[in-house]
């Protein structure tokens, strides 16, 4: 039979090297031979990667793998029988497709073998692993059966119901799948299936999906599922978080069967993740890691980290329980105050209720309770029951919350009737059991479901997962940060030790998540009367009201709150012992101004969601001329300044600046389902795992750490890289106004544009200001603009420089 093939012009238009294409014959005993169309990059140094597509795609799906992993690997993207450009033949069952792939690998590959698969190619590839010597397996969005309490995805159930009409007679199924990716890929995906007679196998593939034990391919699918559960070789799952077919519950099911798997989830990707995201680059790094010589070293470091803090562990719930007879205020906000006794009793009741309802140690609970006393009771109740909090910033918006919450796969969701209604309507936590602070349909209610028996609460251990905390997204996409109870306990201890938090006086904060620290420290906490997503609402009057109605002597403020307090003080004082400013950059002028209003010791401790705090913040009011002085490292924290070499960063010479890498007992455990992000952020220094923070900085001669902004905001000029703060600080000091320096043009050839904060749209600064800016800068400034600086929601101080650079580039284009 003659096999139809694309022309050379078509291959080239689709970005495929025509020399990669060839046909091979597959021979099996007792059945007719069949010819497969394959894309083959040729001999590879390390072995062969065989890529298996699903339905209704073909080998083109693996375009990026063919380009990225060769010539180090021989990459072969096959077209299964009846699919792509392979021979059209009789109907194939899953068992037959598995047998053909086994035959292909035995007859046409040699040396180390890696299998990569997507969609319904997943069960095919998993079906062969028990018959071949496979070194590693990589899977895109796929499944080996319906997860518990999950219906067949509507796209598949509809296709099965009208299989001949939608999959063979018309191109609806093919075109619908192609529409899930970018426009430039769609023509190639549709090309092999232009006519009905070329779509027969597409329909057969859908009809063969087994749903019950009576279906023909049921046993073959069970074998693939068993092979996955018994898989002993490294496994990587690369997932599109917005796939309407193989959604996140399929990912959770795969992890239940193969808990050893590494995962990298692209939260905004849809079904065709091999085309839409750098899956090949992730796979390349992962193969280097798991099949290379460094794997055992990394494992030993992880084991060493897991042992940190095992001795004398005191759970973060103990301070609250120890004050269970104390009737003084533990927390206060606009709704009033709650005592330690009441808070401890409520948290224990919730914990026992959750244990009685079936919550198990390690179960994740998405927290949709607004900041306040109810959140504190709910959070500590979940911890007492052994659960792990899933926390995300409401500033992410409805779409952002859906993305991050689904990615954490919580088994429970805890909220108010309003937030649970949003979660159910918008699909934030599909399949999760609901807990409501009041009443909500089909949810456990704190009002009616109290435990009637004395449920035993588990003993917490340092290795237990405590929380998945998502970064705010102010300096990049929100990342899921995984914390253990041991790390949170170490964080509590270092804060208590370093900042002398008082069990009588307590603190006020404009950062809503920081209220969780209060019960852990055994310290009263006050949340001022503001919208927690708008810290700039905290003016002097509201601030003074908190101090007058409580005994707090510490304030933990965002720069936006501090600026507002200073601006509205009008010569008045609000005295405190300590003010901590979080959310760099912190200007010396702001630290000095808030010190004048409060007569406090003002500090700017450095830290991030992944490890907070790391420095003591001493010296915030001292002008240093190069960034923010964050003080000295806290006891137990380590930091190194490393080169900007992304492949192999090394410590730089004393006094030089570079990227800051850190290690501390209270550091996070890793990024949840972000293997590539975690891998890139880790370096080994003297056998210890350090986290690359993405912050630039240097150590001063006296040991103080100066933070110089973010690496992603650096200026990549011709022949040199310059931290943005080295340009901004001298200009801001002369002008007395906030400025931001951004790079215009491609990295490596950028020129500097300085934007000065002012109301209104971007515009050129007047000649006098432009001259002043250029005279105060040690660097050549190509353009000086004025306009509104876009800032993040949470801190209302971190300038979104990527957005500003885009706007400035557009404004300056052609000028």
pLDDT tens readout for residues 78-103 = 999 999 999 999 999 999 999 999 99
pLDDT at residue 796 is higher than 60? no
pLDDT at residue 456, as a whole number:
92
pLDDT exceeding 90 applies to what percent of the chain? Answer: 81
Average pLDDT score over the chain: 92
In the chain, pLDDT over 70 holds for what percent of residues?
A: 95
Q: Is the pLDDT of residue 306 over 50?
A: no
> Is residue 753 pLDDT above 60, yes or no?
yes
- Give tens-digit pLDDT for 540-569: 999 999 999 998 999 999 988 999 999 999
Residue 626: pLDDT band with limits 50, 70, 90: confident
Give per-residue pLDDT as tens, 141-159: 999 998 887 888 888 889 9
Question: What three-state secondary structure class fits 575?
Answer: coil
Burial class (CB in 10 A: 0-12, 13-18, 19+), 615: buried
Which is it for the CA torsion 645, 649, 653, 655, positive or negative? Answer: positive
| Tokens 């943005």 found at | 724
Per-residue pLDDT reduced to its tens digit, 268-299: 999 999 999 999 999 999 999 999 844 333 44
Place of tokens 């199924």: 173
C-alpha pair distances (Å), 308 with each of 302, 464, 486: 10, 13, 8
User: Looking at residue 294, what is its pLDDT?
Assistant: 41
Is residue 793 scored above 80 in pLDDT? Answer: no
pLDDT at 794: 57
pLDDT in tens, 463-518: 999 999 987 655 567 789 999 999 999 999 999 999 988 888 899 999 888 999 99
pTM over 0.75: yes
Mean pLDDT confidence for 37-57: 97
Indicate if the pLDDT at residue 588 is higher than 90. no
Cα–Cα nearest to 321, from 443, 186, 476, 459: 459
Give the model's pLDDT for residue 472: 65
- pLDDT on residue 473: 58
The whole-number pLDDT of residue 302 equals 45
DSSP of 308-372: TT-TT---TTHHHHHTTT--SEEEEETTEEEEHHHHHHHHHHHHHHHHHHT--TT-EEEEEPPSS
What phi-psi label fits residue 52: left (phi over 0), alpha (psi between -120 and 50 degrees) or beta? beta
Name residue 509's beta-bridge partners: 556
- Distance in angstroms (rounded) separating the CA atoms of residues 88 and 9: 24
Nearest to 319 by CA among 524, 167, 179, 163: 524
14 — pLDDT class (breaks 50, 70, 90): very high
Q: How far apart are CA 272 and CA 53, in angstroms?
A: 10
| Tokens read off for 69 | 């992993």
- Given a cut of 60, whether residue 445 has pLDDT beyond it is yes
Alpha-carbon distance of 747 to 744, in angstroms, equals 9
Q: Are 477 and 396 in contact (CB under 8 A)?
A: no
Question: What pLDDT does residue 304 have?
Answer: 40
Beta bridge partners of 445: 436
- 558 vs 508: CA distance, rounded Å: 11
Give the per-residue pLDDT at 797: 62
pLDDT in tens, 330-379: 999 999 999 999 999 999 999 999 999 999 999 999 999 999 999 999 99
The lowest-confidence range among 427-431, 580-584, 677-681, 713-717 is 580-584
pLDDT over threshold 90, residue 457:
yes
Instruction: Identify the pLDDT of residue 295.
Output: 37
Going by C-alpha positions, the residue among 603, 602, 606, 562 that lies closest to residue 584 is 606
Output DSSP code: residue 196. G
φ and ψ at residue 560, rounded to 5 degrees: -65, -40
Q: For residue 308, what pLDDT band results from cuts at 50, 70 and 90? A: very low
pLDDT of residue 49: 98
574 and 568 in contact (C-beta within 8 Å)? no
Q: Which of these, 89, 103, 97, lies nearest to 126 by C-alpha position?
A: 97
């Amino acid at each position: 039979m003659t096999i139809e093939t694309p022309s050379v012009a078509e291959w080239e238009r689709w970005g495929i090297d025509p020399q990669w294409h060839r046909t091979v014959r597959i021979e099996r005993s007792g059945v007719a031979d069949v010819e497969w169309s394959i894309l083959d990059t040729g001999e590879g140094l390390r072995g062969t990667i065989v890529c298996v597509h699903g339905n209704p795609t073909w080998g083109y799906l693996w375009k990026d793998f063919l380009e990225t992993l060769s010539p180090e690997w021989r990459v072969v993207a096959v077209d299964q029988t009846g699919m792509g450009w392979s021979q059209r033949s009789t109907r194939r069952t899953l068992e037959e497709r598995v047998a053909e792939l086994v035959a292909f690998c035995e007859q046409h590959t040699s040396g180390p073998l890696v299998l990569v698969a997507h969609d319904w190619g997943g069960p095919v590839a998993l079906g062969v692993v028990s018959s071949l010597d496979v070194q590693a397996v990589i899977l895109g969005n796929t499944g080996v059966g319906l997860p518990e309490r999950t219906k067949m995805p509507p796209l598949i159930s509809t296709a099965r119901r009208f299989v001949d009409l939608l999959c063979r007679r018309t191109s609806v199924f093919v075109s619908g799948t192609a529409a899930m990716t970018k426009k430039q890929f769609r023509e190639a995906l549709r090309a092999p299936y232009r006519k009905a007679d070329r779509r027969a196998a597409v329909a057969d593939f859908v009809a063969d999906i087994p749903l019950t034990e009576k279906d023909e391919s049921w046993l073959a699918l069970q074998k693939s599922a068993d092979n996955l559960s018994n898989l002993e070789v490294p496994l990587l799952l690369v997932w599109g978080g917005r796939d309407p077919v193989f959604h996140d519950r399929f990912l959770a099911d795969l992890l239940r069967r193969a808990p050893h798997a590494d995962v990298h989830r692209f939260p905004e990707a849809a079904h065709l993740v091999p085309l839409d995201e750098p899956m090949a680059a992730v796979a390349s790094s992962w193969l280097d890691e798991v099949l290379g010589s460094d794997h055992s070293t990394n494992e030993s470091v992880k084991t060493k980290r897991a042992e940190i803090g095992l001795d004398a562990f005191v759970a973060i719930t103990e301070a609250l329980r120890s004050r269970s007879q104390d009737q003084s205020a533990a927390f206060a906000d606009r709704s009033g105050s709650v005592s330690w006794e009441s808070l401890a009793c409520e948290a224990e009741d919730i914990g026992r209720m959750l244990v009685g309802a079936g919550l198990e140690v390690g179960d994740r609970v998405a927290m949709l309770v607004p900041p306040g006393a109810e959140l504190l009771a709910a959070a500590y109740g979940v911890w007492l029951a052994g659960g792990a909090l899933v926390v995300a910033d409401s500033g992410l918006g409805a779409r952002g919350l859906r993305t991050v919450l689904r990615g954490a796969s919580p088994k429970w969701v805890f909220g108010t009737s309003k937030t649970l209604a949003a979660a159910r309507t918008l699909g934030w936590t599909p399949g999760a059991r609901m807990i409501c602070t009041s009443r909500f349909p089909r949810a456990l209610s704190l009002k009616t479901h109290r435990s009637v028996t004395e449920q035993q609460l588990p003993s917490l251990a340092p290795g237990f997962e405590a929380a998945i905390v998502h970064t705010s997204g102010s300096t990049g996409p929100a990342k899921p940060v995984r914390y253990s109870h041991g790390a949170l306990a170490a964080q509590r201890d270092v804060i208590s030790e370093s900042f002398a938090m008082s069990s009588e006086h307590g603190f006020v904060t404009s950062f809503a998540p920081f209220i969780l620290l209060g019960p852990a420290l055994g310290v009263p906490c006050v949340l001022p009367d503001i919208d927690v997503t708008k810290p700039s609402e905290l003016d002097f009057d509201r601030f003074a009201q908190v101090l007058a109605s409580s005994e707090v002597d510490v304030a933990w403020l965002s720069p936006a709150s501090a600026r507002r307090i200073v601006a509205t003080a009008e010569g008045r004082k609000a005295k405190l012992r300590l003010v901590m400013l979080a959310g760099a950059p912190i200007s010396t002028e702001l630290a000095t101004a808030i010190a004048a209003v409060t007569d406090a010791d003002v500090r700017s401790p450095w830290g991030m969601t992944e490890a907070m705090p790391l420095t003591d913040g001493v010296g915030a009011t001292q002008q240093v001329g190069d960034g923010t002085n964050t003080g000295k490292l806290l006891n137990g924290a380590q930091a190194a300044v490393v080169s900007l070499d992304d492949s192999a960063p090394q410590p730089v010479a004393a006094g030089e600046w570079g990227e800051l890498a850190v290690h501390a007992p209270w550091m996070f455990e890793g990024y949840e389902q972000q293997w590539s992000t975690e891998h890139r952020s880790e370096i080994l220094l003297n056998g210890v795992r350090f986290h690359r923070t993405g912050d630039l900085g240097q150590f001063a001669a006296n040991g103080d750490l100066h933070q110089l902004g973010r690496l992603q905001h650096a200026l990549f000029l011709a022949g040199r890289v310059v931290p943005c703060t080295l340009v901004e600080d001298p200009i801001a000091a002369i002008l007395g106004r906030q400025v931001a320096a951004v790079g215009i043009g491609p990295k490596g050839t950028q020129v500097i544009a300085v934007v000065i904060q002012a109301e209104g749209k971007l515009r050129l600064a007047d000649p006098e200001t432009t001259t002043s800016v250029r005279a105060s800068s040690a660097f050549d400034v190509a353009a000086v603009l004025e306009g509104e600086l876009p800032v993040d929601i949470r801190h209302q101080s971190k300038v979104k420089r990527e957005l500003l650079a885009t706007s400035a580039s557009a404004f300056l284009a052609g000028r």
